[in-house]
């Protein structure tokens, strides 16, 4: 099957063939058994396939010229190589690019590519919708539909690579050099699938992205944090957003289950956290909610003993949100106090606001796109309509 050149592509129609994308090496080897590949050859064959799938980005078995023609035909009969469909492809005036992905069941999630001077980051979604009802996040008002599968998670990376024309995997100077698990959903509520996808992304014989270039952001699923450090050792980001349990209970309701002290202890214990690889604390700037000088001082005090940096995120408003963004002055003052306490505290430049691709805006775009369309899934039921 030849896939059309990547522009906007329909979600893959139902296909009974097994998708090779998202399988780990053992599963890939095992999948070859029914094709009559002798056991002693399976690992070698799986290695060949891995190279074509993840190093070269092949989307068609015919490209796999190190595999015999006959074998290629048999592979194509039994297997497919998937990519998420692209329902919409938008480019911001600042170069940010957002893909609205359509999966085979017609559910949608978004994925954002953010080019910067020294890097290009891909913001990857882990779920369709979200179970966390963070008060300032638009995605949080969308009900949780389902977890994304490993193929749908690693597929976001591969699709971005297709569009950037960045195959085979370059050694350095990559357009797509960093991954942030900061899209829709809570990655630690879909840990197994996220971990499987990230292991594929990190595999040295394929995409080979260093764990140092991957950041996983969590709202604070404390019991999973230790495992992330032990099994994946990627960079950790924590959506902190408040310095007291009282305020954080309201902003990030998972705090009622795992309060600040417990969360910060997990950060102190995070094995991959050290001075060279500090933990990022995300802090959304909400006018008169969490942006006072006293809050800034309390934040610095809380972070004592943690190799930390702070990422201040100007609040991105959405229709119906009960919050406003802090003033420029308040953000500056806040950043200065945290900086003076010895923590780097850059203000995250909002990127892609004109295409609704900035933090917390991902739902809005999907909703807008769905308006006037027949609902195709629970996600697609419009929650508001404008003429
Ligand atoms: N569930 C994970 C992954 C999402 S990351 C987590 O909470 O960390 C997305 C980041 O953007 C989080 O820090 C989130 O709190 C923040 N965010 C959400 N809505 C926002 C908004 N309207 N403005 C600015 N940042 C927002």
pLDDT score, position 351:
83
Q: What is the DSSP string of 332-387?
A: HHHHHHHHHTT---PBPPP-SGGGT-STT-HHHHHHHHHTTSPP-SGGGS-S----
The CA 40 to ligand 1 mean position distance, Å, reads 48
Q: Which of 138, 142, 282 most suits a substitution to test ligand 1, by most atoms within 8 Å of the C-beta?
A: 282
Delimit the CATH 3.20.20.70 region(s) of the chain: 85-355
Return the closest-CA partner of residue 213 out of 171, 177, 168.
177
pLDDT score, position 383:
33
For atom 5 of ligand 1, which residue has the closest CA? 182
pLDDT in tens, 199-218: 999 999 999 999 999 999 99
The CA 328 to ligand 1 mean position distance, Å, reads 20
Give yes or no: 359 in active site.
yes
Name the fold adopted by 18-80.
Answer: DNA polymerase; domain 1 (1.10.150)
pLDDT score, position 376:
35
Burial of 36 (0-12, 13-18, 19+ CB in 10 A): exposed
Q: What does residue 170 show for φ and ψ, rounded to 5 degrees? A: -70, 155
Can you tell me the distance from the alpha carbon of 195 to that of 153, in angstroms, rounded to the nearest whole number? Answer: 10
Segments of the chain scoring below 70 in pLDDT: 1-13, 273, 275, 362-387
The CA 137 to ligand 1 mean position distance, Å, reads 6
The pTM assigned to this predicted structure is: 0.90
For atom 25 of ligand 1, which residue has the closest CA? 359
Name the fold adopted by 85-355.
Answer: TIM Barrel (3.20.20)
pLDDT score, position 11:
59
Instruction: Single out the catalytic residue among 123, 325, 359, 367.
Output: 359
Delimit the CATH 1.10.150.530 region(s) of the chain: 18-80
Ligand 1 binding pocket (C-beta < 6 A) is: 132, 134, 136-137, 182, 186, 217-219, 239, 282, 284, 313, 315-316, 359-360
């Amino acid at each position: 099957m030849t896939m059309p050149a990547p522009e906007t592509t329909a979600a893959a129609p139902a296909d009974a063939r097994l998708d090779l994308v998202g399988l780990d090496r053992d599963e890939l080897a095992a999948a070859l058994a029914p094709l009559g590949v002798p056991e002693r050859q399976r690992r070698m064959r799986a290695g060949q396939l891995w190279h074509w799938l993840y190093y070269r980005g092949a989307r068609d078995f015919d490209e796999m010229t190190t595999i015999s023609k006959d074998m290629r035909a048999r592979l194509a009969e039994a297997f497919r190589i998937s990519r998420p469909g692209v329902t919409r492809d938008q480019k911001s005036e600042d170069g940010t690019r957002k893909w609205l992905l359509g999966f085979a069941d017609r559910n949608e999630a978004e994925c954002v590519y953010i080019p910067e001077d020294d890097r290009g980051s891909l913001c990857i979604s882990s779920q369709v919708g979200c179970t966390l009802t963070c008060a300032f996040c638009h995605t949080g008002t969308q009900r949780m539909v389902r977890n994304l599968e490993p193929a749908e998670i690693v597929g976001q990376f591969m699709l971005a690579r297709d569009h950037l024309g960045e195959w085979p995997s370059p050694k350095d100077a990559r357009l797509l050099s960093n991954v942030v698990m900061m899209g829709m959903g809570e990655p630690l509520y879909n840990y197994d699938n996220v971990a499987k996808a990230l292991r594929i992304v990190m595999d040295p014989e394929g995409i080979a992205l260093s764990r140092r270039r991957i950041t996983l952001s969590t709202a604070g699923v404390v019991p999973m944090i230790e495992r992330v450090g032990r099994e994946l050792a990627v960079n950790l980001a924590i959506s902190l957003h408040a310095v007291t349990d009282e305020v954080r209970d309201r902003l990030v309701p998972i705090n009622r289950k795992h309060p600040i002290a417990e969360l910060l202890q997990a950060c102190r214990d995070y094995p991959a956290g050290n001075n060279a690889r500090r933990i990022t604390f995300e802090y959304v700037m909400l006018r008169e909610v969490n942006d006072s000088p006293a809050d800034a001082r309390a934040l610095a005090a809380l972070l004592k003993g943690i190799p930390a940096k702070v990422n201040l995120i100007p609040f991105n408003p959405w229709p119906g949100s009960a919050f406003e963004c802090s003033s420029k002055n308040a953000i500056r003052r806040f950043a200065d106090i945290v900086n003076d306490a010895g923590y780097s505290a850059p203000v995250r430049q909002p990127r892609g606001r004109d295409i609704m691709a900035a933090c917390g805006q991902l739902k809005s775009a999907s909703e807008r796109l769905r308006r006037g369309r027949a609902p195709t899934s629970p996600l697609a039921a419009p929650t508001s309509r404008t003429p």
